[in-house]
Structures are given as structure tokens and as C-alpha cells.
A and B are shown apart, each in its own frame.
Chain A
């Protein structure tokens, strides 16, 4: 394109005008609510819910913003700090206390929410000092997944939901074949999908109920760790090095690992792959001293800086309603928190016994969370890593870790 030299300044003016114009969003009639979440695979349901709400509330429009989980909370905190945060957004149980303590969440006080419709343990996760800060959305628990090909090859019977730790070890021993490079189970270095479950099953705790004390110096808590490190020592699980080189999930799906602890949110994508669907099954986690699983979940929270607080609260309440739960269940990705609406999620995957995840809600132990979770979690990973790498025992490292976490908890 040829541009006469004399028209360049004019072009500059146009460019500046365009740039300035881009700064302000076009005015819309009525009210706009911004809704932020992270799971792209649930976008269609989110959009449908937003349209439904718009239909019921003329003049309101909902803008949907999806951000990948890895950047979600960094972006959310930055935008809230900068005064440009969304009105309604997803928040999980581990982040909620921090947000509530900072005063950036609006208390949920509307009568539109029927709190008795949510299991008590889930409602409690979003309750700080007796005030609700989020309308429960979905929940997740952990199950024992097994690879049928690995079990068939070794001639071992599939796991059942009444298994104990001892049963798991016996089967893992029978499945392990060093020659073929097959391991019974992967001792995944992951809190939610591995060692928090066994800590709870051993009768231990990660953080005391009043949030003042770390449990890693407690012998029961340490048993929940040695459960896994013993499996590595016995050669029934790959080492941390091996599991860093190849993801445990990849080992599991490629028939080199027979069993894996993994969350309910993995059911959908495995189900959607026919080869995987035919080859894996799921049962309840084996019981230790007690039956337990990590119970975690998400809520829809309202920003305290929202200029349409009442409407935002109404939207959050709608997102936690029975009607919305049905939509979420039909996507089949997560278990809706609304009591009774899990059935549709279960029915969406008839070839998997995903009912075990719903049954596990009964003995679920809420995710340990305090306002400083983000800080002590990093310390925990840092100090448990050498334990997993078998460089130091949990009996030696546990008290040191507890001391370091206690120091952070004082700040709460």
C-alpha cells in the first residue's frame, strides 16, 4: 500500500484515536456482571447458565472470562488489587480463607441460597467465623483407579471398595514385575491425590482444627507418609526420579503401573477415550485405621468491590441452585455440591463405577486450609521432596517441617 507522506500525520491521529477508543469499553444499556472461572471444559455450561440468568433478569448481561488454572489465582489477585476484578468468580477451599481474611469477598447473606441443600462438610469449607463467603458449586473426592490390563497380565483379582492398606500392598507386590518394568502402584508425590488421603486414613492431620499447629510431628501423620515411602523402598512403586521423568498418570495409562490414586475430576476425560474407558476401573480408597478421602470443592464467590453487589449475589445464588446443579451435572465433569444432583453425573458414565466418589463424600475430610496455605504448602513440598527422594526419613524431617509450618501459621 502506498501512503502519501503528507497523510502520515493524519494516520497518526487516527491511530491515537483508535488506541484511546480501545481503552474504554463501549457503553451498554443495563448492567454488566463479569464472571471468572478456570475450567475451559465447563465453558459451555457456564455460558448456558449466564444466558438463563440474563433471561430471568432483563437488562443484565454476563461476561464470561476463562483463565487456565495455572494463572487463575495470580491473575485474580492482581486484578482485585488493581480494582478491576470480576464481580463473581470461582474460588476453591484452599484459597477462600486467604481471600476472606483480606476482606475482598462479600458475605453471602441472601435468602436465595438454601444452605441445607449442601452437605455440611462442604458448606463449612466456605464458612469463615460463621459467615458464608461462597455458594458451594462442586465437590471432589479421590478414588483408587486400576488398570485392567496390568491386573489381567499378572492374574490378580481387581480391587474392591472394601480393601484395606494391607490388601493394596499384597496386590501391588503381586503386580510388580521388575523384569517387565511393571509396578504395582505409583506413589505419586501429590498432596490432594496421594498423601493427604493416607494421613487422614492413619488418623493423622495436616493442620490442627483450630489452624494453629502442623501435624507433621505426629506419628499418625507420619504413618500416612511412610505408607508411600515404604512402597517406593519395596520397589512396588517407581522412584520420585522416575515419576518426574514420566508422569505417574502416563505410566498408569501405558500399562506400566497397575494402580493410581486420582480425583473424581479425571473420570470424564478418561471416559471420553474409548481405549482408556475399556481398560480402567475405579473403587473406593483402601481404608487405613479409618476410611477417609480428601474432600475439596469450589464455590462461587462475590467480590466486595462489585458495584452491583446485590445482583452479583443473586447470580452466585443462582449458580448454586438446583437448576444450575443439573446443568453442571449434565456436563459430567464435576460432582455438583447440591444434594441429590450427583446422580446425573454418575449416570453420565455408566461404564465406570463413579458412584464410589459420591459415596466417599460421607467420610471425606475437608482440605486443610488456613489463610497462609499458599505459603506453607510450598514449604511442605520443599521439605517432603527429600523424603520422597529417599534421602531422609519422615521421622527426622517431620518435626523440622512441623516447626517451619508452625512458624508460618503464627501469621494467621
Chain B
């Protein structure tokens, strides 16, 4: 919107502003149900959580004020630091699925590819699969004794590890599932991005003698960079909140839990097993700040490499 519009229209300003006020009120009335829902179900609990984070729960709704003790704890607790490292490792691992998704999208976008619909459906199935169900199946795939993965490795003479109970491999295993689950969604978004690129650019490049790789690197990659930026931010935000894979595939008695515990899983342990809601609230607030900071950094960084014009 141009900033000069108000002055240009100054002669009829009063009339406009009355109409504007009406319009604003009507608009507000339309979003009121949503706004009310937001206030009751999101903002209210957010404020309550922040308030609770300064307390220690004594059970059954009773609590005592402890100030910022839980926050100070968070920075010296080796378990919390381990959880931060694990969460970051997992998120970075899942981010690596984005270039992979671009390659798949490029392949699926080929003209004249047979059974394109089937491929697209196949890649999208993991996205609509319940995480719990997927995690249960992957838990069996990774099983050290009877897992299909180790059976496959055995065929080529590799003695596979106990993927989920070995500290060295547990994070890799979770990242594989994370990438598998996010791949389909990323491919669909990339396909939309690819289809928005005008074909004449490619035709020009082809005339100039650019090969497939050259066109992909110099045209496709920069042209879909807004999509890449969007995907990296959303992937990061969802990966930083990962909980279900640890809950289903790992669990509290697993010898590799220290290499798998994410911040949100730590939140669950604190709030629901140790039953300290106050401390858990502080962890939740830290997760929120953590995600905010990382998302801001990402948005900043992407300005340097994203092309928003064709």
C-alpha cells in the first residue's frame, strides 16, 4: 500500500474514516470468534504458563513461588544441556532432508514421467500417517535382532548395530524417520514452487547450451529459494518440538536415552512423570524462546540468499 494515499484523499477524509470505522468494526466482528478462541485457548494458557514457570508444583494445584530458580536450573542442568544438543542435532539432520526433497521434486516434475500421480501419492503417504503408527513400524525396522534393516545389511555382509539402543546410532535413526516423515510435504511444496518457474527461462538457458545440471544449479535452485527458505523455517520449528519419536521409539529405560532426549521430551518427563508442572512450564517457555531466536536468525540469514523476484 502506498503511504501517500491518505493525503491524496484528504478532501473526503471524514466520510472515508467513518466508512473505515464501520469497515474495521465489521472486520473485527468477523474475526471475533477466532480472536476469542485465540485468547481463550492460546494467549490465556501462554500467560498462565509463564506465571506457573515461577513456581514449584506441590501437586493437586498447590504450588510455591520460587522465582527464576527453574530457569537458572535449566542452564546448569547437564540433562537440559544434553537435551538442547540432541534437539539441535535432530533439527539439523531433518533440515538435510530439504535438498533431498528438491531432488525428488525435480525428478517428479519431469515432463512425460509415467505414473507421476502414483509416485507423488507414495511420497506423500508418510505425511498423513500418524506419527505414533510410523514410529511403531520404524521401531521394528530398526530392531537389532529381528529388524528388516539389519536383515538387509546382513545380505551385504554388514553386521548392523542395535540402532535404537546404541548411543552412537540412535540420533541417526531418529533423523532418518524425521526426514522420511517430512519428505512428502516438502516435495509437494517444492513441486508448486517448480511449476511457478516460467519455462522460457529454461528454454533460453537451453539455447545457450546449459546442460541439465547447469540448469538445476544456476536456475532451479535460486528460483525456488523462497520455497527453500519457507521450508527450512517451518521444518526447523517443527523439529525443535519433536517429542513423539522419543516417546514411542526410545522410552525411559532405554540405555541410549541420554543421546535421544529432546527438550520437549524433557518437558514431558518433568511435567507428567515427575509431576512438577512449574518446572515443566519453565522448560516450555525456554522452548518457545529457543524457537523464536532460531527462527529470527533464519529469517535474517535467508535475506542474503533468497531471490524473491523472477
Contact = CB atoms under 8 A, between A and B. Distances in A.
Interface of A: 74, 77, 80-81, 98, 102, 104, 189, 240-242, 244-246, 374-375, 378, 381-382, 385-386, 388-389, 391
A241 B59 contact: no
A98 B57 CA distance: 13
Contacts of A102: 58-60, 62
A81 B254 contact: no
Interface string B247-275: 00001111101000000000001001111
B160 to A, nearest CB: 12
9 contacts: A74-B272, A77-B59, A77-B275, A240-B255, A245-B145, A374-B274, A375-B274, A378-B269, A381-B253
Nearest to A189: B253
A326 B145 CA distance: 45
A189 B254 CA distance: 10
Interface size class of B (residues with CB under 8 A): 20 to 34
A273 to B, nearest CB: 21
A246 B254 CA distance: 11
B162 interface: yes
A241 B251 CA distance: 12
B61 A244 contact: no
A102 B63 CA distance: 12
A381 B273 CA distance: 12
Given A77-B275, A189-B253, A240-B255, 18 more contacts: A81-B60, A98-B59, A102-B62, A241-B144, A241-B165, A242-B144, A244-B165, A244-B254, A245-B143, A245-B162, A246-B143, A246-B146, A374-B273, A374-B275, A378-B273, A378-B274, A385-B255, A385-B257
Contacts of A246: 143, 145-146
Contacts of B145: 242, 245-246
A128 B143 CA distance: 46
B139 to A, nearest CB: 9
B166 interface: yes
A381 B252 contact: yes
A228 to B, nearest CB: 13
B52 interface: no
A74 B280 CA distance: 15
Contacts of B166: 241
A191 to B, nearest CB: 11
Contacts of A382: 252
B275 A375 contact: yes
A245 B60 contact: no
B39 to A, nearest CB: 20
Interface centre among B61, B145, B253, B274 (most CB of A within 10 A): B253
Interface in B17-56: none
